[in-house]
Amino acid sequence: MGGTFRLVVLMAFFSVTFFPGTIWVRRTSLTWLPADVVLLTFDDGPNAGARTTGRLLDVLERQRVTAAFCLVGRAVEQAPGMVRRMRDSGHLLVNHTYSHRLERQARAMEQEICRCDEAIGRAFGNPGYRSRWFRPPGGWLTGAVETCTAARGLQILPVTYFAFDTLYSGRGSRRLVETHVRIAKKDRGGIFVVHDGAVRVRPRNRACDVLEGKNRAWIPEAIEEMIRCLRGEGIRFGAPEEVLLGPKP
């Protein structure tokens, strides 16, 4: 990586770690999250390229793990069958906007959220579908996001650790596994995010292109290895309804 790229990564890391207004929270602040429990969450899918999300669903079924999938509406339209499979397998469907766009104005942000719900609803024939959970693109809790989620009664899906896996290629899969095992042991669990989909953000209008399979085809195998290693350390995987929908203090 060049010096400029390193600087960008460092700035992103410090901004999401130390400044308010993001979904990143310290594990110790989630007093309602059971000890030694991990919730897996997957962003930016579904991804039909190289059967990435399909193979990931195979892994989760084989390992008997349920997860949360943060869905981009444009990607849902390309792979509605995968969304039906997620729902039928008991995974939590989370609104992640229609085009991975973080709008400044509340009205435009509302449209992004509504269009994503419409796409999810069309995937399984429920035109009135409304999500209960939302994760904003990039994890940023802007004023527009807070206004819209409050108006729609949406709950924000947080994350306690983000490994910047979108910067990895398949050669970094071992590093991804080892890092998550280390963090889970240190923090006694947490809410982790990995990206089964990939989006390209255009600088001018911040609209995304769904990149089918780009640098993501290795994710299913890495997740299966992560699950095995974490279980070997005494960590278990909580179902979303157990981890998120229980009583909060």
Whether 195 is catalytic is: yes
Q: Of how many residues is the chain composed?
A: 249
Whether 91 is catalytic is: no
Q: Please pick, among 91, 96, 100, 195, the residue that the annotation labels catalytic.
A: 195
Contact 169/200 with Cβ under 8 angstroms?
Answer: no
| 3-class SS of residue 36 | coil
| 3-class SS of residue 10 | helix
What's the rounded Cα separation, in Å, for the pair 217 and 220? 7
In the 8-state DSSP scheme, what is residue 143?
H
What's the rounded Cα separation, in Å, for the pair 110 and 113? 5
Q: Please pick, among 43, 44, 187, 196, the residue that the annotation labels catalytic.
A: 43
What's the rounded Cα separation, in Å, for the pair 163 and 143? 26
In the 8-state DSSP scheme, what is residue 190?
E
> Which residues are catalytically annotated?
43, 195
